[in-house]
Amino acid sequence: MRITASAISPMLMRLAAEQATGALLRDQGTLYLVDGRIVHAESPAAPGIDVLLTAGGALPPQGWQEALSLAGTRHEVGRHLVDSGRVTAGELEMCHIGALFDAAFFVLGPASGPTRFRYGVAHWLGRVRPVAAETVERETRRRRALLDRVWPCPELDTSPVVPRPPAPGQTLTGRQVALLRLADGVRTPTAIAWALGRPTFHTLIEVRRLAAAGLVEPPRTKGPAPPVFPAPLTEDNPEPDIALLRRVRDALEASL
């Protein structure tokens, strides 16, 4: 195992090393482990695999509900979806990995409260495509750096998205148009991610890219308002304060 100086979660690394099975609970969500490998992740900040799969319309919500009620208690919802022909194995794996890394990004985010581990707890989705804990940690670190490389403004992640009109000649991509159509000045990037059925990190990175291109407003800072500088005096100032100038002159003459 590669030892990293700044492990995001030393506890996760320890559980991976001892090949633990169970649920790692943090304020921002849960990581599910089987034999030390991460099999699933959930976070209130990230749309779940159910949202991602049903938002496009190919899998109707009742199809998802049916799989959940038939195979949920057996922890085999993923396998049921594939076996019943509702989703292909390839699509389930791709969607699942996307959701796993997306939720893990928030679970392993900074400013976490206490971390607890419940041994033996399993997720209803079941085993789809387990990922090494070290890989998830490394990817989380890479994603944080990527966001800041695009546009170092973390406030964008939690502020409402306010579009700005494109400059002449500036074009928007199809995915950006879909995102900005939902930007009503109230929805945050997370709310837009849920509405689109797109991973939250994908929305965060897209909003940072839009901000870098000047296509969304920079967030209003909550700190003190910037100082208002007085207008500079110009020579053609129509009404100079004669009384003030006299007082200055008198004071200068008195002190000389």
What is the contact surface with another protein in residues (CB under 8 A)? 52-53, 55-56, 58-59, 82, 85-91, 93-95, 97-98, 101, 129, 138-139, 142-143, 146, 171, 173-176, 196-199, 201-202, 205-206
* In the complex, least distance from residue 97 CB atom to another protein, rounded to whole angstroms: 5
* In the complex, least distance from residue 44 CB atom to another protein, rounded to whole angstroms: 20
Chain centre to alpha carbon of residue 78: 25
Chain centre to alpha carbon of residue 239: 55
* In the complex, least distance from residue 225 CB atom to another protein, rounded to whole angstroms: 36
Residue 171 or 234 having the CB closest to another protein: 171
* In the complex, least distance from residue 199 CB atom to another protein, rounded to whole angstroms: 8
Closest CA to 39 of 81, 82, 79: 79
* In the complex, least distance from residue 236 CB atom to another protein, rounded to whole angstroms: 49
| Side chain identity, residue 175 | R
Backbone angles phi, psi at 191, to 5 degrees: -65, -35
Residue 68 or 195 having the CB closest to another protein: 195
* In the complex, least distance from residue 195 CB atom to another protein, rounded to whole angstroms: 11
Chain centre to alpha carbon of residue 165: 24
Closest CA to 175 of 146, 214, 209: 209
Residue 170 or 237 having the CB closest to another protein: 170
User: From its phi and psi, is residue 169 left (phi > 0), alpha (psi between -120 and 50) or beta?
Assistant: left
Residue 93 or 217 having the CB closest to another protein: 93
For the chain, the residue count is: 256
d(CA 83, CA 152): 45
d(CA 98, CA 202): 10
| Helix segments in the chain, DSSP class H | 10-17, 49-55, 61-71, 77-83, 89-107, 133-150, 174-181, 189-196, 200-212, 242-255
Residue 116 or 149 having the CB closest to another protein: 149
Residue 62 or 171 having the CB closest to another protein: 171
